Structure 1
Amino acid sequence: MDFLGHQKILILKSRFFELYDIKLINDDYDIIIQEALQAIKEVFGAVEVTLYTSEEWDLNWSIVSTTASRDDLGKNTCIKENLQLASGYKFFRLPITEDTIHDYMMLALKSKEKLDYILAIKIKKELLDEPNGEISLFDMVAKEVGILFRNMQNMLNVNRDKKKYKQLFKVTEKFHSSMKMEDVLREVIFTLKKVYPSYHYYLLLSHDNNSPMDLPIKDLEYDSENMAAMEAYVTAELQFENLKEEKSSVIYAPLKGKQGVYGVLQIIVPDVSSFPKNEVEFISLLANTAGGALENAQLYQQSKKLVTDLQLINEASDQLNSNLRLNEMMTYICERISASFNAKEVGFILFSIENDSTKVLQGSSSFFFEPESKNYIDYFKEKIQMEKDSLFLGDFSMQLEDVRYKSVMAVPMMQTGILKGFAIVMHPDAYHFSFDTFKLLQSLIHHSTLALTNSLLREELEKMVVTDHLTKLFSRSYLDEKIQRSLIEDKEGTFILIDIDDFKLINDTYGHQIGDDIIIQVANIIKENIRSSDVGSRWGGEELAIYLPKVTLSLGVTIAERLVKKVRDYSKPSVTISCGVSYWNKQTNDTYNTLFKRADKALYIAKETGKDKVVIQNTLLVSE
């Protein structure tokens, strides 16, 4: 290369040096390329200078920048046909057949890894044909252009990295200031949009994340199309995938914390054959930072939930141990479970001593008192008696067809190793309850079983105190108390005193065991024919009594006559009863003693006048 050639290179380098403007590099890199091509054109007296590059997925070359007009480019069709051929050489001279004055000198600008560009310079043939050899000159041109582009690209990359890591620092601050998973996910997407506006990205999260619908979030599913994503999730390592058909490259970055992996960040780069290596470190740091923030947010939410769960258990324990009546206790616990777990139906089912039958406790949802509930109760009764363990079913329709409730949790009530019954919680939607909810229900039932058992025993003891052992009717003392209270609180009432006719003859004929059985039969007939608010009592021996609060005399007589008839018709061996009926209201100024004496007098008359009848008060009326 002669002195003139050296001068041209120095001028070119000087022109290139003027382009080292950081602000221009960051704001408009294309202007720098255009100015560099213009400098080459002016320094070497070229007609036009054009820079070409190729897509990674194919061999089609496209123009990066040019000094030529569109019309001039359209005339030179031969150059595009020879770009691929030129890419195989360091220098390639392409004659223009229809132009006897100009040729193309095509320079391959290569980096260490690959061919980056082809620089096509349209120049006069005489300059290329000089004996001094312009090949060495253009060798220097290629070298200087390559240095310029590499330096510019490095400066651009440094500044981009500076912006990226500055953004990473900002987002890390926001991560540490937020304890909400939704906020963390939003910041991840915001950062990606800002740093990689041309990329596509998704957050692949497990099913138990309740994610906002407006974010690019997908469920992390195990199938053949997500093998790379699952590999990243399981191994907690970066995974890469090249999609030839879509002409894109994908990275899967695990969102990992210290305790586990919480999802996978999927980033898709279009129009590249392999993922850009210079972006891997930043994406890895972003994913790790997000994973740590997600872990902190999740641990915080779990701790809050744990505190709430403990508060629920403590409050429930306090209430259950406050000597509530059984109905009050069941109403309270069912309401708390329904509200805390968003349950549709809540029921408590007790087993009989023999475990052959079940009883739904009052306070349970009304559904459990309907015939439809029998299928559910029978199914879980059998399962729990067999397995002695809790059941958690996300879709009960897989076990039984045509069921109204699909999400079901059933927890046994165990006390000192004895199965007392089970609690059942249901919802119509499948997979409505989480496993954490199931564990909380188990803990709640465990804490409430003792209080429930104590309440049952207490009420059973209370019932035994006021109940006759043989007939299961109330005791006489309980009847006395109810009549005394009714005389104060009510406006009227009817008292029926009952005696089994010729009971001594029954004992003598059939024995005392049959005699006791006859008393039980009459007691059962009484229980079947009075209301829950009425009081049936064993008065003593073969004498029974009924008090009907707020019942008129005529209605009381009707009930007594019905009892006389039913005992006569249904007792085995057949017996009869006699009834004495007395009545009071506010105008009679009765006392307990006068009410009893009139009924006793009426019963005596019934026994003396033929038995098997009803006599009212002082023999004013007699009904056969």
Structure 2
Amino acid sequence: MEELIEREIIVELKSRFFDVISMGKLSLAESLARMVTLLKELLQATEVDFYKSEEWKQGMALEATTRSDPNVKISGCSPECCIGKLSETPQSFLKNPALLPQYDVVFVLDAKENVKGLCAIQMNSALVGRLSDRLLERIVDECGLFVKKIYTLAETMEEEKRYKQLFRVTKKFHSTMDMDVVLGEIISTLREVYPAFTYFLLLSHDHKGYEGLPVKDLEYNSDNETAMQSYVSGEIQFEDLVIDKNSIMYAPLIGKQGVYGVLQVIAPNSLMFPQNEVEFIKLLANTAGSALENAKLYEQSRKLVADLQLINETSHQLNTSLRLTDTMKFICNRIIKSFDAREVGIIMLNKDHQEYSVLQGSTSFFFSKEAANYIVNVAKRVKEELDPLFIGDFSSDIEGASSHFCSVMCVPMIQSGDLMGFALVMHEKPYHFAFDTFKLLQSLIHHSTLAFTNSMLREELERMVVTDHLTKLYTRGYLDDKMNLSLLEDAQGTFILIDIDNFKRVNDQYGHQVGDEVLIQLAQQIAKNIRSTDIGARWGGEELAIYLPGAPLETGVMIANRLAEKVKKHTDPNVTISCGVSTWIRGQNDTSKTVFKRADQALYQAKGSGKNKVVIQNEYQFDFSKKI
């Protein structure tokens, strides 16, 4: 009779266990909760607690209980403290165990192998005595089989979930070429699958952005030797921190062309990394490595295309516009926009490389006194080495500078083997420019140097065409053109015709070479005493001229008087000049010829009435001979 009752109990237990397993949708926690509830009912127990053995934590953890508060502290010795002794017990169950006196019966699941779990039962001691060893042993076997099956089922479902995640992530990786998205998906997947773990992406390449992602630089001199070993070897490495009770896995992010970083996964409160998680993380890391490589290659290809477009557009623009100022503005603006530069300067050196000039179009900083420290320092290095400079932290080299530009790129401009100058690009942040940017700048300046040379030669040729070789003033033809343009655009203008008094006597007494020197001295005085918008020109022989666009007659007279005084004091040998001044006002139907003629007549009058005079178109005259 007793055997029949026990058989019915076992059949009922197996039937209920089968119902739980066949439901399929229950989670592991729910299945274990049903198991302890069923045991409580069948054995008429007070409470049933199930402890799972966690080898990687080297202890036991309460997984399910019939208690109303699962967080209540159970008095007595913890099963975790007894795991070693329980493993040595040959029996599958213990009645009134001395190791765990708070319980009346303890089921040791899989006692013949490693202990997989404990069912610890509190019940009436009288009921314990009625339970036969045969019944308890069969209950233990059924519970062990049930736990094994639901754990296998849970692992299968978890494995399926992981690989579904891996499949989803792989699809995501193959649908994007964005580095941020790839890295974000790696972290998102890990957080979803292993919410208790901590993750870091240790990347070996330069990275910017990745806001909110746990990204760190993997530096060659890093103190984390295990991470570096994983990166160098391309193999998974483990690090167990006994003091911190953490186990760390380092999985290399491997592509076909190299290793792009290391995925660091930290398992808390464990003395060794869970082996069943390693394979999934390894597959995720390998998939991520391939995706990172594809994204990196795509990013590089796009950058190369953009770089080629930049060089092509720049070359095309330089070949269509040969004006030097326009060329400089275009180049500097493109560098600022494409390289995120703060200051860009094009510095030209003279033939002996002792002096420099900043070309118009460079940013305003290079025309300040402070810029001279940077220019001189960089010029010295370029002249000595003739090599490009790529400096990540330049501030320590410049003393007394209120603005410190740490990131510096310098590319020499060499044409036909001669150093013409250099392009200087700066930013205040250290290590702001990537090395790829530096290589692109070299290519850009290399392609632009010929255009610079052509622009400079063209403007030099233009200056030669419109400039008198001896005096360096403009030619008469240039003055005629500008004056005719002024007659169309301005409201008025004043013309001064200048002649050196007794110039033939200077040539006869000192020679024509000294006569040329006198002309040069007069031209220099003219250049010093007129505005940049005024035009000084050689009219012919010893006659020079000045045209003042937009200036009234009074201004012309003042400049002529001042020039006559300066020439008298600052020429060697000492000479004097005579000036004829004429003016025009819109509405009088003047032409350049009529204005020239009136000035010529005034000059003739000045020369004929004693010289060293300023005469105004037959109206007034100023006689300087009385002051001699």
What range is the shorter-chain TM-score in?
0.7 to 0.9
The whole-number CA distance in structure 2 between the counterparts of 1:606 and 1:139 is 140
Give secondary structure in 2 for the equivalent of 1:530: coil
Which residue does the alignment assign to 2:181?
A: 183
Cα deviation, residue 10, structure 1: 9.2
Question: Residue deviations 1:437-483, cap 9 Å, x none?
Answer: 22222222111111111111011111111111111111122222222
Could you state the TM-score of these two structures normalised by the residue count of structure 2?
A: 0.87
Q: For this pair of structures, how many residues does the alignment match?
A: 616
Question: CA offset at residue 594 of structure 1?
Answer: 3.1
Structure 1 residues 449 and 6, CA gap change in structure 2 (3 angstroms): farther
Corresponding residue for residue 29 of structure 1: 28
1:305 and 1:56 map into 2 onto residues whose CA distance is: 50
Partner of 1:109: 110
Provide the secondary structure at the position in 2 that maps to 1:252: strand
Shift of 1:172: 0.9
What's the counterpart of residue 498 of structure 1?
498
- Indicate if the aligned counterparts of 2:205 and 2:260 stay in contact, CA closer than 8 A: no
Structure 2: how far apart are the matches of 1:256 and 1:551?
A: 76
Tell me the equivalent position of 1:542.
542
- Give the superposition deviation at 1:327: 1.6
Write the distance in 2 (CA, Å) between the matches of 1:519 and 1:599: 20
The answer on 1:368 being equivalent to 2:374 is no
Residue 213 of structure 2 aligns to a residue whose secondary structure is coil
Report the CA distance shift for 1:78/1:157 in structure 2 as closer, same or farther (over 3 A).
closer
Matched, 1:563 2:574: no
Q: Deviations over 1:418-455 (max 9, x none)?
A: 21111122223333322222222222211111111111
8 Å contact kept, 1:578–1:612 = yes
How far apart in 2 are the matches of 1:25 and 1:372? 77
Residue 464 (1) aligns with residue 460 (2):
no
Secondary structure at the aligned position of 2:273 is classed as coil
User: Alpha carbons of 1:421 and 1:5: their partners in 2 closer, same or farther (altered >3 Å)?
Assistant: farther
Counterpart Cα distance in 1 of 2:132 and 2:299: 73
* Consecutive unaligned residues in structure 2, runs of 5 or more: none
Q: Is the 8 A contact 2:339 2:433 kept in 1?
A: yes
Q: Deviations over 1:380-399 (max 9, x none)?
A: 21121122122222222132
| Alignment correspondent of 1:423 | 423
SS at match of 1:153: helix
| CA–CA separation in structure 2 for the residues paired with 1:326 and 1:561 | 37
- Letter of the structure 2 residue corresponding to residue 33 of structure 1: L
In structure 2, the residue matched to 1:287 is: 285
User: How far apart, CA to CA, are the structure 1 residues paired with 2:355 and 2:7?
Assistant: 104
1:345 paired residue among 310, 322, 343: 343
The answer to whether the 8 A contact 2:56-2:273 is kept is no
Superposed displacement of residue 354, structure 1: 2.3
Distance 2:61 2:344 in 1: 70
Structure 2 counterpart of 1:596 = 596
The alpha-carbon deviation at position 76 of structure 1 amounts to: 7.2
Distance verdict in 2 for CA 1:533–1:283, change over 3 Å:
same
Aligned with 1:468: secondary structure? Answer: coil
Aligned-partner Cα distance in 1 for 2:62–2:586: 112
Letter in structure 1 aligned against 2:471: T
Distance 1:304 1:410 in 2: 25
| Cα pair 1:12 1:43 within 8 Å, conserved | no
Cα offset, 1:603, TM superposition? 2.2
Q: CA deviation at 1:299?
A: 1.9
Q: Quick one: distance in 2 between partners of 1:58 and 1:620? A: 113
Q: Deviations over 1:277-320 (max 9, x none)?
A: 11111111111111211222222222222222222222211111
| Uncovered stretches (5+) of structure 1, i.e. residues with no partner | none
In structure 2, do the counterparts of structure 1 residues 110 and 74 end up closer, same or farther at CA, with 3 Å as the change threshold? same
Alpha-carbon displacement from aligned partner over 1:58-83 (angstroms, at most 9, x marks no partner): 87755444568999x99973686866
> CA shift at 1:12, angstroms?
3.6
* Aligned mates of 2:386, 2:351 — CA distance in 1: 16
Letter in 1 for 2:582: S
The aligned residue for residue 296 of structure 2 is 298
| Secondary structure at the counterpart of residue 304 of structure 1 | helix
Q: Please give the secondary structure, in 2, of the residue aligned with 1:253.
A: strand
Q: Distance in 2 between matches of 1:491 and 1:35?
A: 105
Residues 124-156 of structure 1 show CA distances to partners (whole Å, capped at 9, x for unaligned) of 9999999xx977876666555444333322222
Bigger shift: residues 474-483 or 224-233 = 224-233
Amino acid at match of 1:27: L
Query: In structure 2, what is the Cα distance between the partners aligned to 1:222 and 1:103?
Result: 60
SS at match of 1:259: coil
Counterpart position of 2:258: 260
Matching of residue 609 in structure 1 with residue 626 in structure 2? no
Partner residue, 1:554: 554
Q: Work out the CA distance in 1 between the residues paired with 2:465 and 2:346.
A: 26
Could you tell me how far 1:587 is from its partner in structure 2? Answer: 4.6
- In the alignment, the residues of structure 2 paired with residue 603 and residue 74 of structure 1 have an alpha-carbon distance, to the nearest angstrom, of 119
Matched AA of 1:205: L
Do 1:90 and 1:107's aligned partners in 2 also have CA atoms closer than 8 Å? no
| Aligned counterpart, 1:159 | 157
TM-score (norm 1): 0.88
In structure 1, what residue type is equivalent to 2:253? Answer: L
The amino acid that maps onto 1:284 is K
Q: From the superposition, tell whether residues 6 and 306 of structure 1 become closer, same or farther in structure 2 (CA, over 3 Å).
A: farther
SS in 1 for 2:412: strand
CA deviations on 1:539-583 (whole Å, 9 max, x unpaired) are 222221112222111110110111111111112232222222222
Quote the residue 2:520 is aligned against: 520
SS at match of 2:530: coil
Aligned equivalents of 2:78, 2:372: Cα separation in 1: 86
Matches within 5 A, 1:65-464: 65=64, 77=76, 85-91=85-91, 104=105, 107=108, 109-110=110-111, 114-120=114-120, 144-206=142-204, 208-221=206-219, 226-401=224-399, 402-404=401-403, 405-464=405-464
1:176 CA displacement: 0.8
In structure 1, C-alpha distance between the alignment counterparts of 2:420 and 2:343, rounded to whole Å? 20
Does the CA-based 8 Å contact 2:345-2:366 persist in structure 1?
yes
Q: What letter corresponds to residue 535 of structure 1 in structure 2?
A: I
Give the RMSD, CA atoms, in angstroms: 3.5
Q: Aligned partners of 1:271, 1:260: CA distance in 2, in Å? A: 33
For 2:362, what is the secondary structure of its paired residue?
Answer: coil
Aligned to 2:489: 489
Do 2:57 and 2:269's aligned partners in 1 also have CA atoms closer than 8 Å? Answer: no
Indicate how the Cα distance of structure 1 residues 123 and 586 shifts in structure 2: closer, same or farther if over 3 A, else same. Answer: closer
Distance apart, 1:259 and its partner CA? 1.9
Closer, same or farther: CA 322–543 of 1 in aligned 2, 3 Å: same
Once the two structures are TM-superposed, the CA of residue 169 in structure 1 deviates from its matched residue by: 0.9
Answer whether contact 1:211 1:217 (CA < 8 A) is retained.
no
Of stretches 259-268 and 415-424 in structure 1, the one that deviates more from structure 2 is 259-268
1:485 & 1:69 partners in 2: Cα distance? Answer: 102
Q: Which piece of structure 1 moves more, 62-71 or 377-386?
A: 62-71
Deviates more, 1:203-212 or 1:140-149: 140-149
Q: Structure 1 residues 90 and 400 mapped into 2: Cα distance closer, same or farther (>3 Å)?
A: farther
Q: Which amino acid aligns with 1:483?
A: M
Within 2, Cα distance between the matches of 1:76 and 1:467? 107
**Match status 1:577 vs 2:577:** yes
Worse-matched range after superposition: 541-550 or 509-518: 509-518
User: How high is the sequence identity, in percent, across the aligned residues?
Assistant: 50
- How many angstroms apart in 2 are the aligned matches of 1:360 and 1:6? 108
Change beyond 3 A, Cα 1:482–1:135: same
Alpha carbons of 1:256 and 1:403: their partners in 2 closer, same or farther (altered >3 Å)?
A: farther
Structure 1 range deviating more: 41-50 or 87-96: 41-50
| Contact 1:248/1:272 (<8 A) preserved | yes
Q: Name the CA distance, whole Å, in 2 between partners of 1:445 and 1:18.
A: 82
C-alpha contact (below 8 Å) 1:56/1:273 kept by paired residues:
no
